[in-house]
Amino acid sequence: MAFELRRRSAVASSALPQDWVARIRAGDEAAFEAMFRAYYDQLCRYVAAYLGSRDAAEDAVQGVFARLWEDRAHWAVGEVRHYLYAAVRRRAISQIRRMAVQRRAAPLLLEESGGAGRASADAEFEAEELWRRLERALAALPPRTRAAFVLSRQEGLSYQEVALRMTISPKTVGVHIGRALAVLRKVMASAGK
């Protein structure tokens, strides 16, 4: 058993990165592990510069690898190294944006009561209500528009990647995203009234 695992690991680590793609798509865990080991540390160092901490960088890199493994059957990539670096960079940018939104929203959720920092029940209720409105608006979108929006904005895929996944053109992805954003803007505008 141990010999078999070492042999599989040796075979996977000797494979070229282009070979990994086909093997990973087929569910080869040894090839995935070899790719993970080959790129993990350098990707963490690369993205730590964006995020400012090793922990946040590891979260971003692990998230990319986790998503990659979950969607391995649909993984279509030319050059592995470029794909991984771009995916990790997009993930880091998404994390930075999410942190910025949380920083901007924090004062709205905190009550100014002598610096106690307790969350205001009204602000929490309003935030939850706004979130429910957004979720309802997303659910009401046409299925293809909703799918394009979720893949692009929530999963962080580029228009080209969304187009490949949905088998449509990148321009059509842009049209779907534009429609979704228009609907969501209306929801946000009506929430402010």
172 and 193 housed in the same domain = yes
> Which percentage of the chain shows pLDDT scores above 70?
77
CB 49 within 8 A of CB 96: no
> Residue 44: is it exposed, middle or buried by C-beta count within 10 angstroms (0-12/13-18/19+)?
buried
61 and 137 housed in the same domain = no
In a domain, 115, yes or no: no
In a domain, 5, yes or no: yes
Average confidence (pLDDT) over 85-95: 87
132 and 188 housed in the same domain = yes
pLDDT at 81 over 80: yes
Helices marked H in 80-120 — which ranges? 80-109
Q: Which residues contact 7 (CB under 8 A, 6 or more apart)?
A: none
Which domain-ending residue is among 87, 109, 131? Answer: 109
142 and 164 housed in the same domain = yes
1 and 95 housed in the same domain = yes
Q: Is the pTM of this model over 0.75?
A: no
152 and 69 housed in the same domain = no
The per-residue pLDDT for range 61-74, each reduced to its tens digit, is 999 999 888 888 88
Instruction: Give pLDDT, residue 177.
Output: 86
> Residue 77: is it exposed, middle or buried by C-beta count within 10 angstroms (0-12/13-18/19+)?
buried
73 and 127 housed in the same domain = no
Write out the two tokens for 5: 């695992």
19 and 104 housed in the same domain = yes
3-state secondary structure of 119: strand
Domain that residue 26 falls in: 1-109
In a domain, 71, yes or no: yes
pLDDT at 121 over 80: no
The per-residue pLDDT for range 7-24, each reduced to its tens digit, is 444 444 445 666 788 888
In a domain, 116, yes or no: no
5 and 92 housed in the same domain = yes
104 and 157 housed in the same domain = no
How many structural domains comprise the chain? 2
In a domain, 54, yes or no: yes
CATH classification at residue 144: 1.10.10.10
